[in-house]
């Protein structure tokens, strides 16, 4: 198994990509620490992992709270070691041009998508450097490499995640620590459902989105989780500072 006897902390694991990634890591033998602000959803993820014979525990965690992130990561690292840190928690915002996005929405998206990832990396790196190994996987987006119309705040934050990842790879590489990002295209998640709900014709909007992709469909959380698993595992032992785009070919068009 690719993550046998390894300890993985993952943020935003109550649903969507985070949930499926937690399950995949557990399937591959990892001890998974599921974190989220959604306690019920997080505990359901843990229960599903345990029902499948895996090992998991839940920690209620707001990634925008630096002290709380450090407390959770420190406790896990001191008890079990810390092999993989997956910074998955993120948020979007209603569509609108840059001048239409109010300061409150902008600041909230920055707090979760940039500061949240920063906090996770900031907490994990000292432990990984000391032990001489570790893999950080940050969840970016297609918006990390493309400016998405009417998604100025989201695109800004996801671009920052990718460059933060590259910087960490350069700084932490000499200590045996790798850092990579996965950059998904539109994926069948709760966040997508929330976006489609703002459209006049949700089903039509979904179909039009899918038609923009060469594969003529959107991604699934399981497909993104498989990419995260590759970067988390030793199979990618010479991959660092990379943004793995998983978008069904959208960015090639």
Q: Give pLDDT tens digits for 146-200.
A: 998 888 999 999 999 999 999 999 999 999 999 999 999 989 888 778 777 878 8
CA 22/CA 60 separation, integer angstroms: 15
Phi, psi of 237 (to 5 degrees): -60, -20
Of 154, 175, 195, 213, catalytic:
154
Summarize pLDDT for 229-253 with one digit per residue, the tens.
Answer: 999 999 999 999 999 999 999 998 8
Sign of CA dihedral 54, 58, 64, 68: negative
Q: What is the pLDDT of residue 198?
A: 77
Environment class of residue 80 by beta-carbon count within 10 Å: exposed (0-12), middle (13-18) or buried (19+)? middle
Does residue 217 contact residue 159 with C-beta atoms inside 8 Å? no
Based on the residue annotation, tell me whether 154 is a catalytic residue of this protein.
yes
pLDDT digits (tens, 9 = 90+) for 20-75: 999 999 999 999 999 999 999 999 999 999 999 999 999 999 999 999 999 999 99
Average pLDDT over residues 86-101: 93
The pLDDT assigned to 148 comes to 85
pTM for this predicted structure: 0.96
Could you give the residue ranges of the DSSP H alpha helices within the chain? 16-27, 39-51, 66-80, 103-110, 116-131, 152-172, 190-197, 202-211, 221-232
Which pLDDT does position 95 carry in this prediction? 84
Domains and CATH numbers, the chain: 7-184+221-238 (3.40.50.720), 189-218 (no CATH)
Kindly tell me the sign of the dihedral angle through the C-alpha atoms of 36, 42, 48, 50.
positive
């Amino acid at each position: 198994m690719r993550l046998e006897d390894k300890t993985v902390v993952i943020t935003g694991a109550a649903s969507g990509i985070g949930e499926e990634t937690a399950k995949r890591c557990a399937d591959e033998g990892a001890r998974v620490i599921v974190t989220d602000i959604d306690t019920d959803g997080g505990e359901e993820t843990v229960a599903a992992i345990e029902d499948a014979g895996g090992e998991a525990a839940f920690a209620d965690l707001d990634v925008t709270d630096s002290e709380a992130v450090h407390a959770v990561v420190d406790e896990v690292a001191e008890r079990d070691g810390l092999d993989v840190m997956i910074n998955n928690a993120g948020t979007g915002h209603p569509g609108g041009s840059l001048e239409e996005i109010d300061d409150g929405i902008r600041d909230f998206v920055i707090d979760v998508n940039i500061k949240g990832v920063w906090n996770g990396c900031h907490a994990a790196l000292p432990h990984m450097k000391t032990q001489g190994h570790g893999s950080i996987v940050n969840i970016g987006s297609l918006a990390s490499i493309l400016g998405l119309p009417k998604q100025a705040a989201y695109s800004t934050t996801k671009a920052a995640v990718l460059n933060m990842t590259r910087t960490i790879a350069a700084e932490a590489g000499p200590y045996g620590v790798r850092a990579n990002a996965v950059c998904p295209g539109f994926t069948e998640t709760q966040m997508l459902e929330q976006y489609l709900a703002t459209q006049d014709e949700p089903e039509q909007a979904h179909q039009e989105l899918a038609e923009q992709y060469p594969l003529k469909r959107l991604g699934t959380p399981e497909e993104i989780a498989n990419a995260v698993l590759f970067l988390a595992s030793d199979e990618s032992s010479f991959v660092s500072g990379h943004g793995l785009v998983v978008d069904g070919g959208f960015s090639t068009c």
